[in-house]
A and B are shown apart, each in its own frame.
Chain A
């Protein structure tokens, strides 16, 4: 693998889309100008499971301005292979509360919404099963998830090691349901004309979306074009198209030639766009008298939807964390009558590392070892399960640098020992880890005779800074000035590329661009006199295989630190300071990278203290389905957030040396806060979120112990 020289990479350039975004001129999906739009408003199931026995559309249809009412009786047939949530309006069956059972098309959004309320649907409800409980008898082991992580792992004899370990811990941890809530709700404008769909869609990957929707509609992918230059946040909820896109397309089939506009309401996003499922986890640790781990066991159970499987793989990263001779992970699911959970930022790590890194804090205390030192002492040069060396692993470096910057040496480990004006003060630390993922795709480069290069790739910018950072990569891949590069992304007319997910964007797209640049150089050398022909030259190349994949284990690492203050009388929790140090390979653009990492850390704070989707057992849906009752961190919740990284270059991951930064900022930030809360109060909260009721002496026992 040839590596590229950093010239544009490493520069803290401001976003190229900045001037458009601060004016509000960057067009998101719903803002693309279209003629004579038709507005769509859905009808949602008012039962949890059962079947539709009758639909009366007459009142809705009679409204002036209504163009049609879509139900399972008149909707176009989609592919029988379109399983799960995408198979809407294909039968009279209802699989979960708020599933789409119809929709109204009208000349204005007001008419559509009003008329949707006039559609009368009669149901025959069946009993539903929506309550998750880790003691259920029907738990099962899920199918193996992409890309290649086993659901169960085993090494050595965990039980024997635990029973003889001088120090042993066995604790349960839980995390609740989390909803992505990108600020731009899922939106689609769909046009069906001449046997082709054109979609303006809020998506993390135009090609992934197209492949999926082509299958649903039994169409050649060439007959669908998806355009998404700007996306208003996604966090995993816009990787796979959801039922809202299918509904918009079904509606477009009813009004050929006219653009159908459909944006979910905030409330609808809670049932239609996936969520991180709640988890019930158990962590067992054993350690010797020197504070070295003898055994690590981690199990997770979570609910999934009966209609479609998804597993929050909370145990995924556990085997990679620390040296241990004995290791066991287990992942189990329960199928319920609920909407389908999905990928959400750091899927698995966010929930799983909260548990493991809380347990590590408890174990450090039990062993009498400083929590930073405890993690360094259990660091490893080789992957504990596979035995492979790491392509780069700077966990200890992150811990030491973080401790130095945070002022960790001054810390008195005694819980509940620091007070300041009625506030208990504490600090905590946790290890962050996220794996390096690469997803296949391609890119094309057109060399123009005037020295410009057009780089085209069906990639996405969901706020990650792709427009800026990928152009920096392209300039260095070509060895030219950034001003000579024109980047084109966010359109299926550009070469097939992977989605902006799993922190894999720059890694995958960049590797494809580097390959195209290489091939372009070779093609140029083959030209007479090495001269570019007058019409220019275009090369399209696939991301090459990485020869080191079988030789090295590839991951990003980090150390998360937090300071908390707990009001002694009210239990109010403040987080005046978070500090993260990350070893994530080369940083392409320090300005946008810092934003991604600090955004992730704030997500961790939000997870630790605020977010909690409450499922109503009577309905099987989230009750607090808006931004007033589902609290995400607001400005006043956030204190100082310091982001640092180690200078790290990893020659094995890809030609740029990047390892991905989209998720690791979030990983273990919640654990660092929970550990700081314990340090401040002496109370160990093992059930997120950490709310003040769990910290007040009178209300302590239910979910926390001293």
Chain B
């Protein structure tokens, strides 16, 4: 069965008819040709497909497009504004926080959203009881907070030891 939906991706509105079985990830990649989010597992286990959905990071392979009519989606491509890379993107390049680059758009979207979550005071497993994960004047986040919060994004090239300082630098800025 096909259903008409409309979604906004990186600022552009797309109206299309989707199979009710189609995920948001396949809608982006196979229907709209927006291949910034990647497919690593199609099962919510790797994070390569991470996008912002209405401002929050999600695994787009786990969402059905039909359930997201009217959604606002931002991919890593959309984080770059007016051709200028997002600071997180620049920091990933500077720290060589990737090799093959397949996990990278997902890592970057996830990192941007994660800093927002921490700034909003959402604790993680690594947050000591009663403490704030990151405050604007505490100068960013501890490495174990970053590692914990980024563990939904696998990198098989294993650039983790570069991803953490790349994110820390943005967090401290």
Which residues of A pack against B, CB within 8 Å? Answer: 14-15, 17-28, 30-31, 33, 37, 108-111, 114, 181-185, 230-235, 263, 265-266, 462-465, 591-592, 594-596, 598-600, 602-603, 606, 626-628, 632-638, 640-641
Contact = CB atoms under 8 A, between A and B. Distances in A.
12 contacts: A17-B101, A23-B85, A28-B38, A31-B35, A33-B33, A108-B30, A182-B156, A635-B147, A635-B153, A635-B160, A638-B158, A638-B160
Interface in B1-30: 19, 21-22, 26, 29-30
B148 interface: yes
Interface string B135-161: 000000000101110110111111111
A335 to B, nearest CB: 30
Contact of B102 (A14, A232, A595): A232
Given A15-B96, A22-B108, A24-B76, A595 B162 contact: yes
A266 B43 contact: yes
Contacts of B85: 19, 22-23
A633 B96 contact: no
Contacts of B89: 19, 22-23
Given A23-B77, A25-B36, A233-B157, A638 B100 contact: no
Contact of A22 (B26, B42, B92): B92
A24, A30, A234, A265 pick with most chain B CB within 10 angstroms: A24
Contacts of B98: 21-22, 463
Contacts of A37: 30
Given A22-B92, A182-B100, A185-B40, A108 B148 contact: no
B37 A24 contact: yes
Interface in B40-68: 40-43, 45-46, 48
Contacts of A638: 147, 158, 160-161
A464 B162 CA distance: 15
A19 B103 contact: no
B47 to A, nearest CB: 9
A114 B1 CA distance: 13
Contacts of B80: 23
A636 B151 contact: yes
A233 B100 contact: yes
B94 interface: yes
A183 B154 contact: yes
Contacts of A600: 158
A706 B109 CA distance: 47
Given A235-B156, A599-B157, A110 B21 contact: yes
Contacts of A641: 161
Given A22-B98, A24-B77, A181-B156, 20 more contacts: A18-B93, A22-B76, A22-B85, A23-B85, A24-B36, A24-B105, A108-B30, A110-B19, A183-B155, A266-B41, A266-B42, A266-B43, A266-B46, A462-B100, A463-B101, A595-B162, A598-B159, A603-B158, A632-B156, A636-B150
A359 to B, nearest CB: 27
Interface in B97-155: 98-105, 108, 126, 144, 146-148, 150-151, 153-155
B35 A640 contact: no
Nearest to A14: B93
A25 B17 CA distance: 25
Contacts of B144: 636
B100 A232 contact: yes
A96 B88 CA distance: 46
B23 to A, nearest CB: 9
Nearest to B126: A636
A596 B100 CA distance: 10
A183 B46 contact: yes
B164 interface: yes
A636 B151 CA distance: 6
Contacts of A465: 99
B93 A22 contact: yes
A114 B151 CA distance: 32
A602 B163 CA distance: 13
B38 A24 contact: yes
Nearest to B99: A463
A109 B162 CA distance: 36
Given A22-B76, A24-B36, A232 B96 contact: no
B156 A183 contact: yes
B100 A183 contact: yes
A636 B164 CA distance: 10
A110 B22 contact: yes
B101 A21 contact: yes
Contacts of B36: 23-25
A597 B21 CA distance: 42
Nearest to A600: B158
A602 B161 contact: yes
A24 B35 contact: yes
The 7 A-B pairs of least Cβ separation, nearest first, read A24-B36, A463-B100, A232-B102, A21-B101, A463-B99, A24-B105, A602-B158
Contacts of B76: 22-24
Nearest to A33: B33
Most buried by B among A181, A184, A230, A600: A184
B40 A184 contact: yes
A627 B45 contact: yes
A594 B96 contact: yes
A228 to B, nearest CB: 12
B117 to A, nearest CB: 15
B17 to A, nearest CB: 12
Nearest to B41: A266
Contacts of A637: 151
B168 interface: no
B102 A183 contact: yes
A17 B96 CA distance: 11
A18 B161 CA distance: 17
A595 B100 contact: no
A606 B105 contact: no
Given A110-B19, A265-B42, A19 B93 contact: yes
Given A183-B38, A602-B158, A636 B148 contact: yes
A219 B45 CA distance: 40
Nearest to A596: B99
Given A19-B85, A24-B105, A233-B100, A185 B39 contact: yes
A266 B42 CA distance: 8
Nearest to A665: B158
A640 B80 CA distance: 30
B153 to A, nearest CB: 7
Contacts of B103: 183
Contacts of A602: 158, 160-161
